[in-house]
Amino acid sequence: MIRIIVAATVLATAPFAFAQQADDATSDMSAEEAQAAFEAYAADTLRDVAPEHGAITLGRVPVVLSVPDSVDYYDGKESRTILEDLWGNPPDDTVLGMFFPAGDSPAVADWGAVITYEDTGYVSDDDAANMDYDKLLKDMQKSVRQTNPELERQGYPTVDLVGWAEPPHYDASNHRLEWAKDLIFSDSGGQHTLNYDMRVLGRGGVLSVNFIAPVDAL
């Protein structure tokens, strides 16, 4: 089960859209039957979605990815199909692509990653290295709390940002900022979810690759 927070937007679990569309019959299914039904639903939803490899240009941003055969890349349109049609998330045109383990369906993969780009302009090494990360965490937690009532109103699970699963650290040689958030979603039975964010600082903006996995994968 994988989830993600991008900025203040909470993206739901993969089975969420399927659960919303399920009729009374599916509510009487066993866990195994429900999983099989979801995988069939996912296969139909993703029938026209195909992964890519090699040199990938990220559409409207000045970034070229080199995607190895060990990873499947889906472009922005396909990623929105996964996030919105399969996982039941609100529309989000900031998503540029997604990664999954090669050969694994996005419906059952152990991890996934969402690619976004923020046109923030130049961020210096000093700014990144000297950021107040305690304040950043408090700001993130406040933002999540403010977002939760609207998520609940729309029928989405709410989220608790527990804290850092891995504190932020900055790799100046690669201009890369990394951190991991520890999350608990309201419908997870207390299960913790890892949200690992890698941000590459460029001269024109910030490329974010946001990994999602169970918290014990850290």
Q: What is the mean pLDDT of residues 138-167?
A: 90
Report d(CA 46, CA 106) in Å as an integer: 9
- Residue of 183, 50, 61 lying closest to 116 (CA atoms): 61
Tokens representing 79?
């990623």
Report d(CA 114, CA 197) in Å as an integer: 9
The amino acid occupying position 25 is A
Which among 11-15, 32-36, 43-47, 112-116 has the top mean pLDDT? 112-116
Taking only the tens place, the pLDDT of each residue in 98-143 is: 999 999 988 888 888 999 988 877 777 787 778 888 999 999 999 9
The pairing of beta strand 95-101 with beta strand 71-75: antiparallel
Bridge partners of 177, per DSSP, are 170, 199
The amino acid occupying position 62 is P
pLDDT at 167: 92
Class of residue 157 by CB neighbours under 10 A (exposed 0-12, middle 13-18, buried 19+): middle
- Contacts for 38 with CB less than 8 Å, ≥ 6 apart: 14, 15, 18, 107
pTM of the model: 0.78
pLDDT at 9: 40
What is the H or E stretch that residue 4 is in?
strand 4-6
Q: What is the mean pLDDT of residues 164-189?
A: 89
- Residue of 98, 139, 131 lying closest to 14 (CA atoms): 98
Q: Which residue has the higher pLDDT, 39 or 20?
A: 39
- Contacts for 40 with CB less than 8 Å, ≥ 6 apart: none
Percentage of the chain modeled with pLDDT above 70 = 86
